[in-house]
Amino acid sequence: MHWYLHVLKNYAQFDGRSRRSEYWYFFLFNVIVAVVLGVVDGVLRKILGFGMFGMLYGLAVLVPGVAVSIRRLHDTDRSGWWLLLAFVPIVGFLLIWFMAQESNAGTNRYGQNPRLAIA
């Protein structure tokens, strides 16, 4: 939960670096919330005929999600433009590999290693 809130506080910060834990905990929390809201929206569709909580949540976390993804790519010493691979079928799975890689030790062109900055 700490990492999720940290990402939301830095929702439009596209420079710098993000640790693996920051990215993956944000991702995990978004999946959990999306499943819960999907169930709520399903119930509301049966009762009221529409449900839009999932869509509103998706719009609310779109910019923070892109920002933390770009910072995570920066942590592996890649440009944020690599995120566009998500739109290429099959090749987009390469992003999972990039996001799971270990951070570059020390400082790279995007800043200091976040693990060293916090410790």
What are the pLDDT digits (tens) for 70-85? 999 999 999 999 999 9
Residue 33's pLDDT band, with cuts at 50, 70 and 90, is: very high
Predicted TM-score (pTM) of this structure: 0.87
Region of 90 (left: φ > 0; alpha: ψ -120 to 50; beta: rest) is: left
pLDDT for the residue 73: 95
pLDDT over threshold 60, residue 43: yes
As a whole number, mean pLDDT of residues 62-66 equals 94
Residue 117's pLDDT band, with cuts at 50, 70 and 90, is: low
Determine the 3-state secondary structure of 108 from DSSP.
strand
pLDDT for the residue 107: 86
Residues 6+ apart with CB under 8 A from 3: 21, 22, 25, 26
pLDDT for the residue 118: 60
Joined tokens for residue 28: 């995990």
Which residues constitute the domain of residue 108? 2-118
Question: What whole-number distance in Å separates Cα of residue 102 and Cα of residue 50?
Answer: 43
Q: Of 1-10, 16-25, 36-45, which gets the smallest average pLDDT?
A: 1-10
Number of domains in the chain: 1
Question: What whole-number distance in Å separates Cα of residue 34 and Cα of residue 17?
Answer: 26
As a whole number, mean pLDDT of residues 100-108 equals 87
108: β partners: 111
Joined tokens for residue 52: 């839009």
Identify whether the C-beta of residue 110 lies closer than 8 Å to the C-beta of residue 74.
yes
